[in-house]
Amino acid sequence: MRTVPAAITAARVATTSRLCKLWRIVLVNGTVLRFTEHDRDLIVGGETFLSTASFDPSTIKSTADMSVGDLDVQGAFDSSYITARDLLAGLYNGAAFWVGECLWDNVAAGKDIQKFGWLGNVQEIGGAFVAELLDASRVLGTPLLRMYTPACNATFGDARCGVTLASYTDSGAVTAVTDNRIFDGSGMAIPSTAGWTWVDPAVSTGLLDLIAADNYVFGLVTFTSGENNGLAMEVKACDATAVELMLPMPFDIAVDDTFTISVGCRRDITSCAYKFNNILNFRGFPHAPVSDDVIKGIVGTESTYGSAGSGTWVPMDPEDYTS
């Protein structure tokens, strides 16, 4: 239950204003930022809130009907606190925040937290930033149950998946750069299908070769040196030499930058069975009938593991892939 300090309640009905805003943001890397709109730093509840003009929030509104009451905050980059590098690195995406008020001349009275939640879409516009602030009621619209889909809904390498991600992660270095999205690298390899022990007569050798050739597609490149040190991006295409990322890295990629790259998972049952020998942990429903099955009836001789008719397979483009 929200309890407002009596001194703050009295100040809100007074003819003169002694209130000021407080902001507290916890970035995804654990860094805590504290700001106030007052013209000097304030210590409230044992925490120091730094005076800055970097934040300009829209009006804070709350409703009693549990509807989403989002707001925006905009401001300028400050080299001491808010940097474009941190923004581009994604440290603000999903960061937790609260905004409240206190009495600048009586900080011992405490604070009143007016809104809390998470940062949504954060973007750079003309040398400044604009952030969407999502309040706690937004989580009420988040699906909590498993989706009934042919594709696996586990995250590759998590506890539900069961695959040890470290066993499927390689290290390399950049050898040539086309742009911030495409580069050549060392340390990658296409696996041999000879070691894949699962047997399904309906799955062709050509299908397995295609799965092996796309070994790193949907994987993750994490840079371990250079301007993008610590930043990661998903892989769109990779032939064990040339890497194409889903989106450009925010900073320049340079020759000799080091990185790790994890093997990708297409979340289909064929890859799970052959590539990872992990079919017992597959979290999809590839054989569940859909509405089209009622109309078309039984057509062709589909592979037991979800490939297209007659045991053939049509490779998916990452941009077309949906779960």
Using H for helix, E for strand and C for coil, what is the string for 254-301?
CCCCEEEEECCCCCCHHHHHHCCCCHHHCCCCCCCCCHHHHHHCCCCC
pLDDT in tens, 241-250: 899 999 999 8
Out of 96-100, 257-261, 291-295, least confident range = 291-295
**67 pLDDT above the threshold of 70:** no
Out of 27-31, 68-72, 162-166, least confident range = 68-72
Q: Do β-strands 47-51 and 258-262 pair in parallel, antiparallel, or remain unpaired?
A: unpaired
**Averaged pLDDT for residues 18-28:** 89
Instruction: Please count the residues of the chain.
Output: 323
Q: What is the mean pLDDT of the chain?
A: 80
Tokens of 155: 């995250």
The model's confidence at residue 173, banded by pLDDT at 50, 70 and 90, is: very high
Tokens of 101: 């008020």
| pLDDT at 29 (0 to 100) | 85
Burial of 188 (0-12, 13-18, 19+ CB in 10 A): buried
**Averaged pLDDT for residues 16-41:** 88
CA dist list (Å): 151 to 23, 184, 239, 240: 41, 30, 24, 25
| String of DSSP letters for 93-153 | TT-EEEEEEEETT-GGG-EEEEEEEEEEEEEEETTEEEEEEEEGGGGGGS--SPP--SS--
The model's confidence at residue 300, banded by pLDDT at 50, 70 and 90, is: low
Tokens 């990661």 correspond to 232
The model's confidence at residue 308, banded by pLDDT at 50, 70 and 90, is: very low
Decide which of 13 and 201 is more confident: 13
| pLDDT at 309 (0 to 100) | 41
| String of DSSP letters for 146-182 | PP--SS--SPTTSTTT---GGGGEEEEEEEEESSSSE
pLDDT in tens, 247-278: 999 889 999 999 999 999 989 888 898 889 89
Say if CB 206 and CB 230 are below 8 A apart.
no
Q: Does pTM top 0.75 for this prediction?
A: no
| pLDDT at 278 (0 to 100) | 92
Burial of 322 (0-12, 13-18, 19+ CB in 10 A): exposed
